[in-house]
Every structure is written in structure tokens, then in C-alpha cells.
Amino acid sequence: MNIPKTSFQRIVIVGGGFAGISLAKKLSKQEVQVVLLDKHNYHTFQPLLYQVSTGGLEPDSIAYPIRKILKDYPNFYFRLANVLEIDSVNKNLKTDIGYLKYDYLVLATGSTTNFFGNKEIEKNSMTMKTIPQSLNLRSLILENFEQALLTDSLDEQDALMNFVIVGAGPTGVELAGALAEIKKGILPKDYPDLDTRRAQINLIQAGDRVLKEMSREASDKAEDFLEKLGVNVWKNVRVTGYDGKNVSTNNTNISFETATLIWAAGVKGKTIKGMDGENYLTKSCRLRVNEYNQVKGCNDIFAVGDVACMESQDYPFGHPMMAQPAMQQGLHLGDNLLNMIEKKPLKPFIYKDKGSMATIGRNKAVVDLPRYKFQGVFAWFVWMFVHLYFLIGFRNRAVVFINWVYNYIRFDREARLIIRPYKKNRYIFKNY
Ligand SMILES: Cc1cc2nc3c(=O)[nH]c(=O)nc-3n(C[C@H](O)[C@H](O)[C@H](O)COP(=O)(O)OP(=O)(O)OC[C@H]3O[C@@H](n4cnc5c(N)ncnc54)[C@H](O)[C@@H]3O)c2cc1C
């Protein structure tokens, strides 16, 4: 990999997400050599992926070059590499561009979609964890309408204009709200020769409320907002299968015919061979770490962010898989790594919950702060401010802000472009 050997200890970070970047920033001026490896050369701001999928934002406004983040840091090296295997005995990593030795290894690989073993759903559904996946979804949504125009069969039109979203966490709720707004504001103008009033947005939730990680108040209000926008909210319904056309559920009276099933029902830790044994992982494939983010049983391997599971009394299943715990763990580990190198005692990680929020659409958001809970227009402004604040890069903030103002005033989403056509394997919809 052409990384020089120095007298400094080498810390290798795998993953330039919220956790990896926070850690890298913390180590920026220290006497250590830091190598950051990521399979993408950009950091993704995942909370706004749904806006890329629904044409509200261009992908480059929520992505930021990792090299630019690190450009002024001495002793820093970035390599575009997919890490394939960890040899913890010899402290060596196998990647698709070669091998790399480490003194300390930090796994910040995030999470991946969890289909809970259902291969049929995995094969036929759409996901939204990365920018390429969001672009696929954007293309598919638009292609569905283009295809609906070409068929005389009302059943086929309905299936093409029926969107089924599984999972009513923040991702599902935000996506459902955005699709409902497109149906109302954009489709009638773009497709005047198609009866787009028949388009359906179905949000399916296995539990008894949407946004179940938030307060009851936030859940009830979010559901109310969704219904006002025309989203069909299905609770206590579990999706059991999807063959590319029919969605089956645990309730024999409830099924859907759709060309688009979006799976937002779960995530699991993104593991790497060598650290993927049962002794390391929880049921949701997260690496068990102690209070210092040290992978249990390993002295020099750490995990932070979504992939790390720090079980505690307050968080028996680990911290929520969200940006805040990831960033806080990254920063905290920075201090602890320096303590470790200087042979000082390590400090346990304590999560400061700053609250959570979700937006359902224009003027509609729900916010739970530790002391206050509020919903509606003010919550929506708070949601926008917080997301702009945490976006990396002045240009991205400016572009997103201008887009939001433009979309707000014009009721528009200009990025509804099929730049990279997505060909789904449609064995039923033969006309396509
Ligand atoms: C659609 C969506 C909406 C979300 N909305 C919110 C929200 O509103 N609020 C909130 O707090 N959280 C939200 N989250 C969750 C939040 O984005 C994650 O909790 C956060 O990104 C976790 O940070 P991380 O650093 O652990 O992982 P990530 O940010 O996922 O970064 C992991 C990095 O590791 C890299 N990587 C993985 N495996 C390898 C490998 N083998 N080799 C090299 N590189 C690798 C990846 O390319 C990636 O860059 C959302 C997530 C999604 C998908």
C-alpha cells in the first residue's frame, strides 16, 4: 500500500463514516500514524439518502471526499480499499489492494440491511443504505411511472404505482412522507395523461406504532401526519415474502401487488472475516465491545459506531444505531487510544443522548429532546437546522440549503432524473 514505516504507532481505521471520521479528526494532530481505509472515497450523510431517492437532492450534496477531510492532517494516509479479512494473531489486514500491518485496529464499518434470513425478499426488494442504492431507487420510481404510461392494463398500472415500504422507523417514515408529497405535487404535472391519483404509498410496520424508538407523542403525531398526506399505515403486520410482484404478510387478508418493495425493516452490523465468529458477535451481528470500545477478547482491536455493541444496564442491546452514538464513540476512542499508547488508564464511554427526530414532510416533523418534545412547523425547522449543521462541507450545506428553499417555494424536486437506469428483474411485468 506504500505507507511508510515510522517510529509512530500505526492506527488503522476501517470505515470513513460518522464514527471513523470523528476518530480521525480527534487524532489529527497527534503523534501517531493513522491509515483510514474505506471502499468508497467519500463519506455519506445517510440521514438524507431518502431525499436522493425521491429527487429532492443530488447525491453529491450528501457525499464528501474523505481525502479532503484529511488533507491538512500530518501522518495521515487514506487508501481506497475494501477490507476482506482480519488476521488478529499477526495484526495484519487483507484488502483488495494488498496487505497492511497495524498496531491498533479500529473497526468502524457501520451496518448493512438485515433481511432476517429471507432470501426472496433480499433478492426482490430495494434498499437504501448507500448512494448507489438510493440512485437505483430513484431510477426505479421514475421508471415505474414511465412504464405505467405504456400499459393498458389497469392492474399493471396499479402495481407499478403502488409503493410498499416495510419498516416504519425514521427511514421508512421519511421516505413514505416524501413519496406522498411527490404524488400530490409532482406526478399530476409530470404525468397528466396518467391517473396518478391511483398511486398508493403503503407503510408496513410489524409493531403497534410508527417511530417506535421515539416517544408515544412523536409516534402518534407522525402517524397523524402520514395519514393526512395520504399514506396507508399498516400496523401489526409482518411482511413474510415478496416474489417481485406479490407481497405476502402474516395476515392472510392483507397482501399487496407491487413492482416496488422498499425494505427498511432492519439493519445488522457489517462484519469482516476473521472477526465474524459467534464469540465476537451479538445476534444482530454487532461486535461485542467493553466500555472502552475494545472488542471483547482483543487488546488492540476496537469497534465504534453501528458495528459496535456495548451492552450496559441503560442499553442492554447496545446503543441505538444512529449518528450520535457513532460520533461520540469515535471522539471518545481517540482519547483512549492516546491514553493506551501513553500507558495511562482508559476512560469508560458514557453516551449523552441528545434526542432524536424525524421529518414527515413540509412543515411536519417530530422532535424528542431529553427535556422537551415538540412536533409540527418548529420541529421541522429544528430538523433542517440539525441536518445542515452535521453535513460535512460548506458547499454541501449551501447546496442543500438552497435546494430546500427552492423546493419549498416551488413545491418541486428537480433531481427527478433517470441518470443511471435501473433494470429490475421483472418477470411478471412483461411489457417493460
Ligand atoms: C437511510 C438512513 C437514514 C438514517 N437516518 C438517520 C437519522 O435521521 N439520524 C441518525 O442519527 N441516524 C440515521 N441513520 C443511521 C446513521 O446513518 C448510522 O447510525 C451511522 O451512519 C453510523 O455510523 P458508522 O460510522 O458506524 O457507519 P457508517 O456511517 O455506515 O460508515 C461505515 C463506513 O465503513 C465503510 N466500510 C464498511 N465495510 C467496509 C470494508 N469491509 N472495507 C472498507 N470500508 C468499509 C463504508 O463504506 C462506510 O463508509 C440513518 C441511516 C440510513 C441508512
- Ligand 1 site residues (CB inside 6 A) read 14-20, 37-40, 46-47, 49-50, 82-83, 108-110, 128-129, 170-171, 270, 272, 305-307, 321-324, 326
Amino acid identity at 177: G
The atom of ligand 1 lying closest to the CA of 358 is: 8
Question: What's the confidence (pLDDT) of residue 428?
Answer: 52
Length of the chain: 432
Coil, helix or strand for 72?
coil
Q: Ligand 1, residues 36, 38, 46, 286: which to mutate, most atoms within 8 A of Cβ?
A: 46
Q: What is the pLDDT of residues 256-299, one digit of tens each?
A: 999 999 999 999 999 999 998 889 999 999 999 999 999 999 99
Backbone φ/ψ region at 211: left (φ over 0), alpha (ψ -120 to 50), beta = left
Question: What is the residue-wise DSSP string for 238-285?
Answer: -EEEE-SSEEEESSTT-EEE-SEEEE-S-EEE---BTS-STTTB-TTS
The atom of ligand 1 lying closest to the CA of 175 is: 1
CA of 330 relative to ligand 1 center, distance in Å: 13
Q: What is the pLDDT of residues 8-32, one digit of tens each?
A: 999 999 999 999 999 999 999 899 9
Question: What is the residue-wise DSSP string for 340-398?
Answer: HHTTPPP---------EEEEEETTEEEEE-SS-EEESHHHHHHHHHHHHHHSSSHHHHH
- Whether the CB-CB separation of 57 and 48 falls below 8 Å is answered with yes
CA of 6 relative to ligand 1 center, distance in Å: 31
Q: What is the pLDDT of residues 293-335, one digit of tens each?
A: 999 999 999 999 999 999 999 999 999 999 999 999 999 999 9
The atom of ligand 1 lying closest to the CA of 128 is: 1
Q: What is the pLDDT of residues 189-208, one digit of tens each?
A: 999 999 999 999 999 999 99
Compute the average pLDDT of residues 425-429: 54
Rounded to an integer, what distance in angstroms lies between the CA atom of residue 170 and that of residue 301?
A: 31
Rounded to an integer, what distance in angstroms lies between the CA atom of residue 193 and that of residue 149?
A: 8
Domains, the chain, ranges and CATH?
Answer: 10-39+81-113+267-341 (3.50.50.60), 119-265+362-410 (3.50.50.100)
Question: What's the confidence (pLDDT) of residue 427?
Answer: 47
Q: What is the pTM of this model?
A: 0.95
Rounded to an integer, what distance in angstroms lies between the CA atom of residue 123 and that of residue 139?
A: 18
CA of 86 relative to ligand 1 center, distance in Å: 20
Coil, helix or strand for 12?
strand
Residues near 82 by Cβ (< 8 Å), separated by ≥ 6? Answer: 39, 95, 96
Confidence band for 429, pLDDT divided at 50, 70 and 90: low
Rounded to an integer, what distance in angstroms lies between the CA atom of residue 355 and that of residue 123?
A: 35
Relative to beta strand 200-204, strand 301-303 is unpaired
Residue among 58, 143, 174, 223 flagged as catalytic:
174
- Whether the CB-CB separation of 24 and 69 falls below 8 Å is answered with yes
Question: What's the confidence (pLDDT) of residue 432?
Answer: 43
**Known catalytic residue: 311?**
no
**Closest residue by Cα to residue 25 from 93, 83, 71, 81:** 71
CA of 252 relative to ligand 1 center, distance in Å: 36
